[in-house]
């Protein structure tokens, strides 16, 4: 049995925290897409750990973790994550396996990412510059290097051939670079990677399912960054929706049971692209400061705005969400009223649908205004003790999306939440 947990907005919904909280119910946690563009924050007893490639079940000793074939892995970031975890007393090697079919991010992929972004000027995607786009391009272009390749005798030859291809490509951008230091670090990190358990992830996963193990598939990014259904071209380069758990792990759709969708009680986005409910005033700044909305991977300030039910309903149908987890309720503690976007006004017409290209039309959010609660909910663990306006707001979201809410998160720590 496989449950899928994923973000329903533009990423950073609090997936890491919720996976870490739910992990004790599972035997396996598996990442199925994305790479070090992700930053999943876990806070346990005040101690913060940010994971980029490693699944968020890693703090629980009994759990097996898998980096699936759909993931793109940068050995340098991977090694750094493992070493940081070791400093915190977590030996990842014992319970982490990596699919041989996951793709490798090369130093020149990062150069290509930076060169492509620089060439776009004001039209840039706002990529994390981790080499994600170029690596997925090499995967679909059938040029990529995979994790399993690092054990082949001709690995260095293949690496060199791909690097030369990249150097040739960078020439079109007129972009200066020097990867001497990164390349040395990368080679050392590849050697480090060779010490990890590599598996044919699809067989591995299906054996776990057959053995009756409970599996949680952990998404990265969010549905509005999906390569097909997100705000293209301001998206990431992988499918971030439930379907991607099948292709990114090698499992059949009928094995998937629950789909746990995560949304903040407001909305954020980091990088460029449409964001209809964005608040460019002091209200947005207040959310950013109180919610500490700065990127876990790049440190960039996140753009903040009101919750967007048009986008949320869209994400729910794309993913088949069976339960909602609402995070960061505590961030709105001090608000007198809270806006909820129920519809869009697109060029004067009210609609419940996301327009084909939001950059080509005028999209204005149509708001329902609800009462705030003006009190601190961060220490409350019992639903019955929560202020009535917060309960009404959560019930409103549940009614408007037609999906039950299972958890409301009231702070960054693992235990700061209320079961619904
Ligand atoms: P992810 O990428 O979806 O795992 O989310 P990130 O870790 O990038 O960003 C979420 C941020 O919000 C992290 O700093 C979390 O520690 C924090 N966080 C998660 N849930 C809550 C919550 O309910 N309240 C508050 N205040 N912070 C939260
Ligand atoms: P998690 O898993 C938020 C955004 C980038 C940029 C766009 C493309 O932590 O939620 P990319 O580097 O993928 O080519 O960048 O996608 N982005 C994220 N935003 N959270 C993430 O991951 C993100 N991963 C990518 O900011 O706008
Ligand atoms: Mg994040």
Q: Is 6 in the pocket of ligand 2 (CB under 6 A)?
A: no
Ligand 3: centre distance to CA 38 (Å): 5
User: DSSP state, 155?
Assistant: H
Ligand 1: centre distance to CA 48 (Å): 11
- The residues, any chain, with a CB within 8 Å of residue 294's CB and separated by 6 or more, are 288, 300, 301, 302
Q: How far apart, in whole angstroms, are the C-alpha atoms of residue 233 and residue 106?
A: 23
Q: How far apart, in whole angstroms, are the C-alpha atoms of residue 121 and residue 111?
A: 16
pLDDT surpasses 90 at 139: yes
Q: Is 409 in the pocket of ligand 1 (CB under 6 A)?
A: yes
pLDDT surpasses 90 at 240: yes
Residue whose CA is at the smallest distance from ligand 1 atom 17: 412
Q: How far apart, in whole angstroms, are the C-alpha atoms of residue 218 and residue 79?
A: 20
Tell me the average pLDDT across 244-267: 98
Ligand 3: centre distance to CA 395 (Å): 26
pLDDT by residue (tens digit) across 346-360? Answer: 999 999 999 999 999
Tell me the average pLDDT across 54-82: 97
> For the chain, what is the mean pLDDT?
97
Supply the pLDDT for residue 142: 98
Ligand 2 mutation target, pool 7, 8, 9, 11, most atoms within 8 A of CB: 11
Supply the pLDDT for residue 98: 98
Residue 391: other Cβ atoms inside 10 A = 16
Supply the pLDDT for residue 298: 86
Contact present, 102 and 133 (Cβ < 8 Å): no
Please name which of 387, 275, 384 lies closest in space to residue 329, comparing C-alpha atoms: 387
Supply the pLDDT for residue 297: 83
Ligand 1: centre distance to CA 394 (Å): 18
pLDDT by residue (tens digit) across 292-327? Answer: 999 988 889 999 999 999 999 999 999 999 999 999
Give the residue numbers annotated as catalytic, written as ranges: 12, 40
Residue whose CA is at the smallest distance from ligand 2 atom 16: 236
Tell me the average pLDDT across 138-154: 98
Whole-model pTM: value is: 0.97
Q: Is 268 in the pocket of ligand 1 (CB under 6 A)?
A: no
Give the angle 369-371-374 at the CA atoms, nearest 5°: 140
Q: Is 221 in the pocket of ligand 1 (CB under 6 A)?
A: no
């Amino acid at each position: 049995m496989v449950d899928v947990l994923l973000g329903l907005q533009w990423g950073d919904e609090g997936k890491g925290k919720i996976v870490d909280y739910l992990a004790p119910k599972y035997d396996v946690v598996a990442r199925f897409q994305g790479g070090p563009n992700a930053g999943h924050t876990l806070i346990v007893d005040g101690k913060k750990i940010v994971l980029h490639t490693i699944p968020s079940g890693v703090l629980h000793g009994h759990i097996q973790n898998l980096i699936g074939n759909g993931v793109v892995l940068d050995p340098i970031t991977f090694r750094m994550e493992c070493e940081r975890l070791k400093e915190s007393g977590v030996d990842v090697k014992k319970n982490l396996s990596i699919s041989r079919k996951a793709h490798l991010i090369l130093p020149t992929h990062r150069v290509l990412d930076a060169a492509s972004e620089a060439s776009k000027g004001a039209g840039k995607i706002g990529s994390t510059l981790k080499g994600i786009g170029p690596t997925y391009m090499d995967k679909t272009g059938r040029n990529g290097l995979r994790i399993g390749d690092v054990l082949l005798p001709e690995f260095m030859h293949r690496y060199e051939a791909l690097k030369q291809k990249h150097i040739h490509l960078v020439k079109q951008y007129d972009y200066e670079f020097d990867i001497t230091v990164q390349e040395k670090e990368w080679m050392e990190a590849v050697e480090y990677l060779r010490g990890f358990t590599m598996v044919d992830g699809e067989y591995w996963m299906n054996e776990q399912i057959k053995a009756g193990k409970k599996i949680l598939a952990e998404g990265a990014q969010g549905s509005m960054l999906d390569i097909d259904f997100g705000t293209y071209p301001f998206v990431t380069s992988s499918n971030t929706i439930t379907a991607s758990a099948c292709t990114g792990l090698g499992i059949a759709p009928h094995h998937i049971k629950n789909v746990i969708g995560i949304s903040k009680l407001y909305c954020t986005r980091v990088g460029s692209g449409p964001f209809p409910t964005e608040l460019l005033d002091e209200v947005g700044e207040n959310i950013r400061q109180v919610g500490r909305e700065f990127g876990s991977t790049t440190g960039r300030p996140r753009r903040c705005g009101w919750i967007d039910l048009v986008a949320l309903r869209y994400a729910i149908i794309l993913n088949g969400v069976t339960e909602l987890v609402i995070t960061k309720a505590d961030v709105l503690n001090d608000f007198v009223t809270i806006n909820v976007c129920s519809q869009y006004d697109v060029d004067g017409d009210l609609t419940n649908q996301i327009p084909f290209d939001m950059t080509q039309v005028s999209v204005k959010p149509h708001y329902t205004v609800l009462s705030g609660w003006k009190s601190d909910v961060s220490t409350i663990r019992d639903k019955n003790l929560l202020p009535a306006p917060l309960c009404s707001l959560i019930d409103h979201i549940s009614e408007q999306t037609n999906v039950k809410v299972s958890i409301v998160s009231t702070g960054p720590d693992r235990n700061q939440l209320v079961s619904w």
